[in-house]
Amino acid sequence: MVSASADNGTGTVGFIGLGNMGGPMAANLVKAGHRVTGFDLVPEALAAAAEAGVEPAASATAAAADADVVITMLPAGRHVLALYEDGGLLAAARPGTLFVDCSTIDVADARAAHEAAVRAGHQALDAPVSGGVVGAGAGTLTFMAGGGAAEFARAEPLLAAMGRKAVHCGAAGAGQAAKICNNMILGISMIGVSEAFVLGESLGLSHQALYDVASTASGQCWALSVNCPVPGPVPASPANRDYRPGFAAPLMAKDLGLAADAVRASGVQAELGLRAAELYAAFAGNEGAEQDFSGIIRTIRQQSGGAPTPQQTEQNGTPA
């Protein structure tokens, strides 16, 4: 993590949305010496942030009025747009405030939010993250930022306090574009890895043998070598703890839904991306609602009518 000394010229930070991600991100800003005023609609989330040193505000607009930089970490684009305009966040802030939206939202919504902020006399940056709740707590998130170079430079000390890496991807919306493109690769590759393991099972291949080959050959990817969907070969992967997330399937379904919207809007021929969105929407809406996204292997196996033999999993511990 790049160290961020106290304040660093960023002034007071208003942090709106102190949930699973925003709570620990705001706490890391406090730890790095920043003054943070925060707000969340859920009193328990606000109280937990206050314990970590965030100064609780009475409302989102109160947090923004006092701030030099406003960070939002909200569920979806409609929450960001509603809060910015109808909710009065932009109007409440001092002119020249930097609005950094770290939520994962639609590229078009990110551009609309950016334009609204600039119209109101402010600066804006979209800066969605990868790294999940663990990365938010550990301060090891990766930020993908969209907006001007000056805005990125102004936000950098804050991003450095919450993450390990920040990439300036281009103009407004480019951060969200990078996020959904990356997660489209991830969703497709997890389905591919899972299908390969289930095919290997039906061909009599052990999980370990397929892992040993593919993880050092051209099949290597993060879905295989870090988040391996069968228990055994990668002890830290969610498959070893009954697919507890990790990266929850509903979040993958959300991100693939955003990617699918962008695919349709742009006319790109992304058949695998669209199919991955369908498969994850079905999985997350049913048996995968509370599972890591790698749990989709169980659905693929069940629909294939198979189960691994003890021999296939014997080097790996518990069968998947």
SS3 content of the chain, % helix, strand, coil (to 5): 50, 10, 35
Tell which residue, 66, 141, 74, has the closest CA to residue 102: 74
Q: What is the smallest separation between the CB atom of 254 and ligand NAD, expressed in angstroms?
A: 6
Nearer to ligand NAD, 111 or 254 (CB): 254
Q: Which is nearer to ligand NAD, 28 or 103 (CB)?
A: 103
Nearer to ligand NAD, 82 or 153 (CB): 82
Report the residue closest to ligand NAD, judged by CB: 19
Q: Toward ligand NAD, which CB reaches closer, 131 or 233? A: 131
Strands in the chain per DSSP E: 13-16, 36-39, 55-56, 69-72, 98-101, 123-126, 129-130, 141-146, 163-170
Q: Is 179 a catalytic residue?
A: yes
Nearer to ligand NAD, 16 or 198 (CB): 16
Q: Minimum CB separation from ligand NAD for residue 281, in Å?
A: 15
Residue 95's nearest CA partner among 112, 118, 72, 111 is 118
SS3 call for 163: strand
- Smallest gap from Cβ 84 to ligand NAD, in A, equals 10
Q: Which amino acid is at 180?
A: I
CB of 129 to ligand NAD, least distance (A): 5
Task: Fill in the DSSP letter of residue 248.
Answer: B
User: Which residues sit at the interface with ligand NAD, rule CB under 6 A?
Assistant: 16-22, 39-42, 45, 60, 73-75, 79, 83, 103-104, 129, 132-133, 247, 251, 254
Give residues with Cβ within 8 angstroms of 98, minimum separation 6. Answer: 68, 69, 70, 122, 123, 124, 125, 151, 154, 155
Smallest distance, Å, CB 212 to ligand NAD? 30
Q: Which of 31, 165, 179, 254 is catalytic?
A: 179
Neighbours of 225 (CB within 10 A): 17
Catalytic positions, written as ranges: 179
